[in-house]
Amino acid sequence: MDFDLIINSFPKLLSASIITLKLLSVSLIIGLFIGLFFAILRIKNNIIFGKIAYIYSYIFRGTPLLVQIFIIYYGFGQVEFIRESFLWIILKEPYWCAVIAFALNTGAYTSEILRSAFQTIKPGYIEAGRSLGIANKIIFYKIQIPIAIRQSLPAYGNEIILMLKGTSLASTVTLMDLTGVAKYIISTTFKPIEVFIIAGSIYLFITFIIHNLIKLLEKKYSF
């Protein structure tokens, strides 16, 4: 064990974890909207839209995130007409390629979590709203969505942690996130074990915080 290396690389890794957190939060926010959109498509009784939402979720949950990010980054980068279209402004940047891959991936899982939450809402709640003369739209926004979100908190908490781990793949498309900087330090010091242990501890610490935040939210919104 090289303790000097551990002490020297800790601050570098810590500041790199800010990129990791930024990637995580941006992807989660976009992914939440994508997930909600597709979850609603699934529960509405439209066969075609329901099928589209199902296929989206199936493809993104059935393939590794690494493949998805490589298709978006290296794959699309080689297609002439994408490079000449307005899309290239976004796809040119490794950061946005990573965010797109992460958001689409987490969106697929989120849509499943929300769908099952919507489907397990007791019909009684909706009926109660109707009997009070509340419009369907308002029932949906004020009753169904909040209950669904509460129901899905534990599962969504797991998804956040899975996504945090997923962001480590950003390093495969040149981003200097926590894993990226760890690899960089290793490429100059040739000491993988020490560096990966610190990086791992930082990830673990972030997981711990997320885990407890979700617990807190669950308590706050329990009924």
List residues near another protein by CB under 8 A: 58-59, 61-68, 70-71, 74-79, 83, 88, 92, 94, 161, 164-169, 171-172, 174, 179, 182-184, 186-188, 190-193, 196-197, 199-200, 203-204, 207-208
CB of 45 or CB of 187, closer to another protein: 187
- The structure tokens listed for 16 are 């790199």
What 42-46 contacts at long range (C-beta under 8 Å, 24+ apart), as own/partner pairs, is 42/111, 42/115, 43/115, 43/118, 43/119
> If we measure between CA atoms, which residue out of 140, 142, 71 comes closest to residue 101?
71
**Which amino acid would we find at residue 6?**
I
In whole angstroms, what is the distance from residue 83 CA to residue 91 CA?
8
| Pair 102, 163: CB distance under 8 Å | yes
CB of 145 or CB of 183, closer to another protein: 183
CB of 51 or CB of 83, closer to another protein: 83
Please state the closest distance from residue 108 (CB atom) to another protein, in A: 12
- The structure tokens listed for 200 are 């791992």
CA–CA distances in Å: residue 99 to residues 72, 73, 137, 169:
10, 11, 32, 11
CB of 150 or CB of 191, closer to another protein: 191
Please state the closest distance from residue 213 (CB atom) to another protein, in A: 14
Please state the closest distance from residue 155 (CB atom) to another protein, in A: 11
Please state the closest distance from residue 138 (CB atom) to another protein, in A: 36
CB of 91 or CB of 103, closer to another protein: 91
H-assigned helices in 167-191: 178-189
CB of 187 or CB of 222, closer to another protein: 187
CB of 26 or CB of 186, closer to another protein: 186
| Pair 32, 110: CB distance under 8 Å | yes
Please state the closest distance from residue 85 (CB atom) to another protein, in A: 13
> If we measure between CA atoms, which residue out of 31, 40, 52 comes closest to residue 140?
40
Please state the closest distance from residue 145 (CB atom) to another protein, in A: 26
Write the DSSP assignment of 29-45 as a string of letters: HHHHHHHHHHHHHHHSS
Please state the closest distance from residue 219 (CB atom) to another protein, in A: 20
